Amino acid sequence: MDLIRPFLDYEFMRNALFAVLLIMPLFAILGTMVVNNGMAFFSDALGHSALTGVGIGVLLGMSDYEWPMIVFAVVFALLMNRVRHASRGRADTVIGVFSSCGVALGLVLLSRGGNFQSYQSLLIGDILNVTPDRLWVLLAALAAVIVVWMFSFNRFLAVSISPTLAKTHRVAVWLYDRLLVVVTAVVVMLSIRIVGLLIINAMLILPAAASRNVARSMRSYHVLAMVFGLFSGLLGLVLSYYNEAAAPGPMIVLCAASVFFGTLFLARKK
């Protein structure tokens, strides 16, 4: 706490701290199921599609491009998910094609007016400029995800383990498969301005992947993912504060990566 206390005098640092306390648990809860379903590349492709959503918003003359981002991301995610299940090719190949198209189309749309540089902040995000309004949005998103998990977790888990087995237990596989995709798309888009599309997938995946290395039950899997996420977020924010040359987002990812490799070493040692 002695390391955290000095920057609490600054409002922008307090807002950044609150953002970490909301985003990292949100990512941890969602990341566990993303990892279970082998959707790491899927969520990465969603982040890349944000550029196209912004480009559509610009073409429509909208000053706030968040809604176009969310709508396009949901449509993009559902289409990618359908093609992923229907294609005879490898899933990672299909996702790679969608990811490339999402980036390319976004760059084309944003470069039409020659003002692409004004949107480069989307690449790395800016957690230090998070506003109180955005914090309320993140709190609402966290509450919504918790409610969805409380009522649907067992079904999500059954679908991730075996869709065929889930069907025999009368689980609507198509519904929960698409619900997970839509929730992931909305959360990624709501967080993209803060985290940045280049590293948002790492923040989403690393705490859950680290937890999976050492967890011995589904409960410990979720608890450890949340602990690792919060630890990485707080440590990265503190280290960034005391090292002005390091941006908070990348520093958080490096901390999360260190936790992942540490748990991987422990798992192999055991």
> With 60 as the cut, is the pLDDT of residue 2 above it?
no
Tell me if 237 sits within 8 A of 17, measured CB to CB.
Answer: yes
Nearest residue to 31 via CA among 175, 183, 178, 214: 183
pLDDT-derived band at 245, boundaries 50, 70, 90: low
- SS3 for 270? coil
Distance of CA 234 to the CA centre of its chain: 17
**pTM, to two decimals:** 0.86
More confident residue, 12 or 92: 12
Tell me if 158 sits within 8 A of 43, measured CB to CB.
Answer: no
- Token output for 227: 């602990």
Task: CATH number for 5-269: choose from 1.10.3720.10, 1.10.3470.10, 1.10.1740.10, 1.10.10.10.
Answer: 1.10.3470.10
Tell me if 57 sits within 8 A of 118, measured CB to CB.
Answer: no
Question: What is the average per-residue pLDDT within 90-110?
Answer: 79
Q: What is the pLDDT of residue 114?
A: 59
Tell me if 199 sits within 8 A of 124, measured CB to CB.
Answer: yes
Q: What is the pLDDT of residue 270?
A: 62
